Chains A and B, each alone.
Chain A
Amino acid sequence: MTPPPVTSNAAPDSATGDLSLFGFIESVSDGVVIVDQQDRVVMANRAALGLIGHTRDATLGQPVAGAFRIFLERMRSRKPSGPMRFEHFYDNEWYMVQIYALVSPDGQSSTAYTIVLATEVSLRKRREFDFIETVAGLEEATRIAQMGTFKTIWQTGQIEWSPHMYTLHGVTPDTYNPASGGYAKFVHPDDRDYVQRANRDLAQGNAIANVQYRLVLNDDVLRWMRIDSRVLFDSSGAPYASFGTCQDITETKRREEELRELLRRNAILYEALEASPNGVAVLTAEETGLTILYVNAAFEQLTQHNSFSLNTAGLDALVTDDQSRVWRSFNAAMNASEGGAFEVDCRRRDGSVFPAQVELAAVRDHPGRAATAYVITVRDLTAEKERAAVLLQSQKMEALGQLSGGVAHEINNLLQPVIALSDLGADVLERDPGKAKQYFEVIGNSGRKAREVVRQVLTFARRDTPQLLSHDVLPLVIDAINLAAKGLPPNIVVETHLDLEDAKATLSATQISQVILNLMRNASDAMNGRGRIVVDLRRCAAEDVPAGMDRARPWIRLIVKDEGCGIDAQALARVFEPFFTTKPVGKGTGLGLSVVYSIVNTWGGTIKIDSEVDQGTTAVIYIPEQI
C-alpha cells in the first residue's frame, strides 16, 4: 500500500478560510489530510507529513492512492452519516484512520474530505493483529507438517482443535469436545501431572515448548506427543489466548531410542576393544585406498603407532621385512578380501622388533562382495615364544635324562655279568675250564647285547641313518618277516597277507627289517610267546588314508596285529617315547617303537597304534609309494 500522499500548505482556500482553524489543524498531534473531490491533497498538516515522511511540496496537489482512494470512493457511494473508520498498516506502523466528509451547503454532496491519521492504537489491537498473523502462518505450517493445532481463549474457556488434532487423539468432533475437559483420559497416567503442569503454565501466561508425553489410545497403543504453545495477552497484560501445535513424535522417539541403544552398544564395543590385551586396528577399504580408522590402546602400546602415524607410514611399517613371503601373503589376502593368520616379526615405531601373530579379518556389507573394512589383530608372541623355548629346553633335558638313564640302566645290567664273570672266570680258568668257557660265553653275549642297545640308541638319534634308495617293498618285507620270525618263540604263529606287486618306496632294507622285527617282537611279547601275529601288506585305498594325510598320492599300508594283552590309553599315549616300556627290564629296551617311529619318519610315512587292554594291538604304518 502506498502512503496517503499528503499535500498542503498553500493558503487555506474556500474550504476553510479560517486561519485560526488552519493553525489548530497544524498543531494537533494527529495527522490531518484534506482532499478535494478529485482526491487531490489540498492540505496536510505537520503531523501527517511527519507520519508519512513526505515533504509538503511533494504532496500537495497529488492524488491519494491505494487504500485511501478505496475508502474515499466507498465514502462517496455510501454517504455515511458519520466518519468512516478503518485501521491501516503502513511501514511497520499501525494507523487508525478516520475520514470525515465536508458536506456542501445544500447538504447533498461532499465537497472535500478530511482524513485523520492517528498513531494511537490500543495494545489489544496490536495483540489481535499478531494473533491473526500467527494463526494464519501456523495453520499453513501445521497443515504441511501434519500437526494438530489447538486454540484456547482463556477468558471464555473456548477450545478449538484442528481436524488433525482429533485424528492424533483417535477421536472425532462428534465423539469428543475439547472444551468439555477430560483431556487427561488421553494421557498416560505417569504423564498426567506433567501435562497438567504445562497447561497451568499456559494459563498463567508462560509459553511452553517441547512438552513430550505419552497418549494411550483406544487399543492401548502408546503414542508420543509433543506440544508447543505460545500465549497472547490482552491490553491489560492478562493471558488472552494460546495457540499451539501438537505433533506425533512416536517414530522420532523410537529412532532416538534406537540411536541411544546403538550408541550404548558402540560404547560397550569400544570399551571392549580398548580393554583387549591384543592390538586391534580397524581399516576401511575405499576406492581411494585403505584408511586406518581406529587402533585400540593395546595396538598403540604394542606398535607405538596411532592411527595417524600408521596412515602416514602405511601398514608395511608394521613389519621388519615387507617383502617376506608371509607379509606378501598377508597383502595378497587383503587384496582378495580374505582373512588369515600370519606370524611375522613386527617392528615398533622406534625400530625395535617383537614376534607377533597378525590376524586379518575382512568385513563385508554383503556376503560375496569385496570387503568394506578390515580388522587387524596383533598378538605379541614374545612371552609365548619364551615359554615355548623354556618348555622345549626342559623337554629336551627330560628326554636327555630319560635317554641317558635308560642307556645307563641297560648297560649297567649288561656290565654286571661282564665284571663278575671275568673275575670268577680267571679264578676257575685252570680248575674248571668248562665253567670258565661258559662264563666267557655269557660275557660275550652281554657285550653283544650292549652293542645292540648302543646301536638302537644311535638309530634313535639318527646318527647312522642309512642311505635311502628306491626298493621294491614286497621282497624286503618278506625277508624281514622271515628273519624276525626265526627269533620268535615256537608257539607264535605268523600269518601273512601280502598283496603288493611292483610297489616301490624310498627306504633301506635294514630299516624295514628293524621296523618289522620290533613290531613282531612287541606282538610276541604282548602274547607271552603264544598266539597269532598277522602281517598285512597292500596298497591303501584313498578312503582308508587317515585324515590329515595327502589322499591324492598312493600309500602302502603295513599292518602288524596281535591278540595280546593290549596297551591302556595312558601308556598308548607314550609308546613312542624313548625308554618308555610296558615290559620289564631285560625284556625291552623301551626303544623299539621309538626307533620304528623315527625310521617311518625318515620315509615321510606315518605310524598309528590302535590298542585296547586284552583286545590286542594293531600297528599300522603308511609308507609313501614312489610314483
Chain B
Amino acid sequence: MAHILLVEDSPEVSMSVREILSAAGHTVAEAASGKQALEQLKAAKFDAIVSDIWMPEMDGIALLKEIRGGGSKIPIVVISGGAPNAPLTYTAPLAATFGANVVLYKPFEKEELLGAIKSVLG
C-alpha cells in the first residue's frame, strides 16, 4: 500500500477521492493547492501524487513543473474536470507534456483511479 498526496481544492472531490484511496488501503494526505502540496512534499515522503489542475495559489501545471523541474520522478496522476475536447481542458493534455504519468477526466470510476495508481506504482 502506498502513501499518497492528494491535491484538490474542491472539498467534495477531495473527500470522495480520499475515500476511494483509503478504502483501497492507501494512506492519504490532502492539500488544497499546489503551494500546500509543495510544503507537504518537503515535510514527508510520498509514493504518488494525485492532483487536480485548476486550483488557487498554484495550479496543477505549475506544481508539475516545480516537481519535475526539481528532478523528482514521483508518479503523478492528474485528475481534470474538463472533458477531453472541451475548450477549457487545454491544461489536461498539457499535463502529460509536463510530466503527468496518467491523466484522468472527472467523473471517473473508482476502478479507473485505483488502476491508474496501480500502474504508476508498478
The interface of chain A, by Cβ under 8 A from chain B, is 401-402, 404-406, 408-410, 412-421, 423-424, 427-428, 439, 442, 445-446, 449, 579, 583-587
Contact = CB atoms under 8 A, between A and B. Distances in A.
A418 B107 contact: yes
Given A405-B86, A415-B107, A424-B110, A585 B20 contact: no
A587 B60 CA distance: 16
A587 B88 CA distance: 16
A498 B9 CA distance: 37
B55 A409 contact: no
B9 A420 contact: no
Contacts of B17: 416, 420
A154 B23 CA distance: 137
By DSSP majority rule, is chain B's interface helix, strand, loop, or mixed? loop
B20 A424 contact: yes
B39 interface: no
Contacts of B10: 413, 585-586
Interface of B: 9-10, 12-13, 15-17, 19-20, 23, 33, 52, 54-57, 59, 79, 81-83, 86-89, 105-110
27 contacts: A402-B88, A405-B82, A406-B88, A408-B83, A408-B88, A409-B83, A409-B88, A409-B89, A412-B83, A412-B105, A412-B106, A413-B106, A415-B107, A416-B17, A417-B15, A419-B109, A420-B19, A420-B107, A420-B110, A423-B109, A423-B110, A424-B20, A584-B9, A584-B57, A584-B59, A586-B10, A587-B9
A479 B79 CA distance: 41
Contacts of B79: 416
A584 B54 contact: yes
Most buried by A among B13, B23, B82, B110: B13
Contacts of B110: 420, 423-424
Contacts of A406: 88
Given A586-B10, A586-B13, 18 more contacts: A406-B88, A408-B83, A408-B88, A412-B105, A413-B13, A413-B106, A416-B106, A419-B108, A419-B109, A420-B19, A420-B110, A421-B15, A421-B19, A423-B110, A424-B16, A442-B12, A442-B15, A442-B16
B12 A446 contact: yes
A442 B89 CA distance: 25
A405 B106 CA distance: 13
Contact of A408 (B12, B82, B108): B82
Contacts, number: 100
A412 B107 contact: yes
B20 A584 contact: no
B87 A413 contact: no
B107 A585 contact: no
Most buried by B among A402, A420, A423, A428: A420
Contact of A586 (B9, B15, B23): B9
B13 A583 contact: no
B87 A401 contact: yes
A416 B16 contact: yes
Nearest to B19: A424
B82 A420 contact: no
Contacts of B108: 416, 419
A586 B54 CA distance: 9
A579 B88 contact: yes
A409 B52 CA distance: 12
